[in-house]
Amino acid sequence: MNGPIRRVAVVVMLMFLALMLNASYSYVFRTESLSSDPANRRVRDAEFGTDRGDILVGNTPIVTSTPVEDRFGFQRTYDQGRLYAGITGYYSFLYGGSGLERTYSSQLAGTSDVQVLQNIVDAASGRRPQGASLQTTLDARAQQAAAQALGDRPGAVVALDYTTGGVLAMVTSPSFDPNALASHDIAATETAWQQLNDDPAKPLTNRAVREVYPPGSTFKLVVSAAALESGMTPDTTVASPASLRLPDSTFEMTGDCGGEEVSLRQALQVSCNTAYALLGDQLGADALRRQAEKFGFGSPVMPELNGVPSRFPTDPDRAQTMLSAIGGFDVAASPLQMAMVVAGIANDGVVMEPHVVSQVRGADLNVISTHAPRPLSTAMSGANARALQDMMVSVVENGTGRRAQIPGVRVGGKTGTAVTASAGSGSTRVPYAWFVAFAEDPTVAVAVFVQDAGVDGSEISGGRYAAPVAQAVIEAVR
């Protein structure tokens, strides 16, 4: 064999070796990810005709597969589809899946790696393979109460058991009916998809975890935590002028906070903007950012539902830092993130990892996997967290959150309103209203976001529109 032919032979051999190594690697390590890839139509075509497992709330299936007489054999059905759509998502022949249907698609279809042995046994015994079921942490009473209280207003509600991180309720409005996208009538599915995507209200968007909004004065809880961690106490006196012009700016904050100086407790109770702006300037942007990150800002949350990170501005100047301290400028948070802030405070400073699936169970009811409660971070000391709890209780008992009071239940909360139009723009866009709260019995943390808070851009909006929703959720799980 002459030299050129030998070299060509060596190159060909190396290419075959690389091909075999890549194929072996993909088979061993990438099978599950490739199978669950929504672009893999062949796998989805095969899976669409499988008996997918149920998704349960308590002992009740909210998503199930029923036998039908058509080419697919099973129809995916969503009971109370609009109520749970933000969590379950949809499973569509044309458009793949979203929500839990996408994240746990291989387990629900029975094709995950851990289900291979069971599939072999089923095949040997002549049984049709069945997918695994998902047990959620949801509380049907809390979910229903949140949806009813929010009504048809655009927004979101998130309720967490702050001792475990389990999601008790997650409502996003407006919602959609997943049954329309799971239909075996392909033409009808295309029509429904087009209508949903053309809808300016964006019903397919999960506002609870997939969108971030200016949190307004609810962010003062993060600033309060930073202040307490720096050595201050609820009785520390802070400046609270009736008017405050921001450095190197023509923007002026105003407000009557009860005097030129108030305690930190009083500043939170009346949601004093000038006091918190000056407090933010005193603490500095880096301290505020570090505190926000301890609560989860800057990191993706709840990968089960593909949650997006909340943010604190990267390099704000003094005026921007002061605006950030009252939840303005470029601060943006999801309702889930603000529920995590309250949950961390209520849980004596420990933020638990939020999750909505507690167990995955095979068709034989054997547990395939369990999500044990896991601490995500320690946001503040236990002593300071308890001090901030007391400050939040003062907000509900004597401040802007009175509408969240529940007889016999210790409730702490914080209102918030974010103006969505820039100063001087002439825009008539309505403000966002927020209310975040915790209760001790039951152990629940709630964040309520209302995208349309009427014409009132004051702190009253958070108490008027959002606080009663939180109250309804807490009462539902008592």
Distance (Å, whole) CA 391 – CA 373: 27
Which residues neighbour 187 within 8 Å (Cβ) at sequence distance 6 or greater?
none
**Rounded to 5°, angle at Cα 211 from 205 and 217:** 135
- CA atoms 8, 12, 14, 15: torsion sign: positive
Indicate if 183 belongs to the active site.
Answer: no
Distance (Å, whole) CA 319 – CA 248: 7
Q: Would strands 375-378 and 60-67 be described as parallel, antiparallel, or unpaired?
A: unpaired
DSSP code for 402: G
User: Which CA distances in Å does 155 have to 38, 72, 138, 169, 354?
Assistant: 28, 36, 19, 14, 20
Catalytic residue among 35, 133, 183, 217: 217
Cα dihedral 422→423→428→429 (10° resolution): 30
Strand runs labelled E in 316-388? 350-352, 357-361, 367-370, 375-378
Which residues neighbour 186 within 8 Å (Cβ) at sequence distance 6 or greater?
93, 94
Distance (Å, whole) CA 7 – CA 21: 21
Among 167, 150, 183, 228, smallest CA distance to 72 is for: 183
Give strand pairing partners of 359: 135, 370
Give strand pairing partners of 56: 61, 135
For the annotated catalytic residues, the residue numbers are 217
